[in-house]
Amino acid sequence: MVIFSQLYIVAIATLIFVLIRLIRARRLYRFKPSHSIRPGDEDLPTISVCLPARNETNAMTECLESVLASNYPKLEVIVLDDNSNDNTSHLIKAFAHAGVRFIKGDPLPDDWLGKNYALETLLGDVSGKYVLFMDVDTRLSPDSISLLVVDLMEKGVAMSSVIPQRYDMQRLSAWFGTLRYFWELVLSSRVRPGASSAVWIIERQVLQDELGGLGRWRDEVQPELHLAAELAKTQDYSLIISTPELGIHYAKKWLSQIETARRLLLPRFYNSTLSVLIGLGLLITILLPQAIVTVAIISGDWSIVWVELIVGVLAGLAVAFYCRLVWVSRWWIGLIVAPYTVWQEFWLLISSAVGYRLGTITWKGRLVARPVRKRTANSI
């Protein structure tokens, strides 16, 4: 019984920690609209929107339509087809009349990840003062780029990345999705801030000249995470949680979310077995109410149910708070499906760690391995 008491204390402390981190994330990162006068068009910087694409027939058209609907006046749009074996290149070329520039990807060098090499190739072909990289499953509202640029200029930072919201709450893929952005918010710190590949914008000169492009992180699964950490050293980075006003959201099928989670989870825990174990322990605390009920039923000792009430309330608050940040509506559904989604994340974290060890992690048909290069003194 002493062991259980200690476990409950640890669980309650862990859940309080998670709640504090989520409250902190809302206070620090949730998008706040500018109250200053928007600069005139002549004072706005040029923006290059860059999309790396590989086998994206299902999402490409809708993504480009949302970009082209932007009201930002100084925009160029460039899409790189990373050797797709479907109809992606034809879909991209169909937007040439709207000013979308097509780049055919080169063969992938041995020491680069495919997406990273696509980003580096795009970087070498842009002319904007800022480069906005985005995933094909991300959607923008007409005001998104304008609001993001004004926010960037007001904060005076070189880079921002945006955690998108989920709008299509009628889909099961939204209800039973992964906890991808939960980790970015809970694990974010000043030294190692969270980052999102959905949309990130960076000053081109800083990325090319000061950071030397993406070469240093050519085999890192989340290069934007490392760029954010590098720029955070000089307080030159900002993480943003989108809101309906900012209008940055995403649509991703369940199977795609599973594949992405397996690819991202171990790297997000810094390729560390100890960090993975800590993450699993955190998930167990959210699942603890189920275990308490099971023990009570088996043992017939219902005196421990009061512990379930405390732990359950804290876990419910954490889930509700997270869902209200990343879902545009129906956050209460997250409470109903939480037992499933947390168990799913538990097994995905294990699957990611084991998959990297066995060499079975893939992305768009290519194997993804843990980085093996020696890190320089400046790398995280």
Tens digit of each residue's pLDDT (9 = 90 or more) over 39-77? 777 789 999 999 999 999 888 999 999 999 999 999 999
Task: Band the pLDDT of 371: cuts 50, 70, 90.
Answer: confident
pLDDT at res. 299: 67
pLDDT at res. 27: 95
Q: What is the CA radius of gyration of the chain?
A: 22
Q: Which residue has the tokens 């992305």?
A: 363
pLDDT at res. 295: 65
| CA atoms within a 13 Å half-sphere pointing along the CA-CB vector of 101 | 12
Structure tokens at 281: 């322990």
Q: By mean pLDDT, which of 170-179, 268-277, 295-304, 365-374 is the weakest? A: 295-304
Mean pLDDT (the chain, rounded): 90
pLDDT at res. 142: 97
pLDDT at res. 293: 67
End-to-end CA distance of the chain: 42
pLDDT at res. 110: 87
pLDDT at res. 50: 98
Look at residue 374 and tell me whether its pLDDT is greater than 70: no
In this structure, are residues 5 and 276 in contact, taking their beta carbons and an 8 Å threshold? no
Q: Give which of 186, 191, 341, 360 is closest to 275, Cα–Cα.
A: 186
Mean pLDDT score, 116-143: 96
Task: Band the pLDDT of 113: cuts 50, 70, 90.
Answer: very high
Q: Which has more pLDDT, 22 or 314?
A: 22
Q: Which has more pLDDT, 370 or 129?
A: 129
pLDDT tens profile 342-361 = 999 999 999 999 999 999 99
Task: Band the pLDDT of 379: cuts 50, 70, 90.
Answer: very low
Structure tokens at 277: 């174990």
C-alpha 175: how far from chain center: 17
Give the C-alpha distances (Å, rounded to integers) separating 46 from 190, 203, 244, 267, 282: 29, 10, 25, 33, 43
Strand partners, 162: 199, 240
Domain with CATH 3.90.550.10 in the chain: 28-264
The CATH architecture that domain 28-264 belongs to is Alpha-Beta Complex (3.90)
Look at residue 306 and tell me whether its pLDDT is greater than 80: no
Question: Coil, strand, or helix at residue 62?
Answer: helix
Q: Give which of 326, 329, 328, 293 is closest to 309, Cα–Cα.
A: 293
Look at residue 266 and tell me whether its pLDDT is greater than 70: yes
Look at residue 289 and tell me whether its pLDDT is greater than 80: no
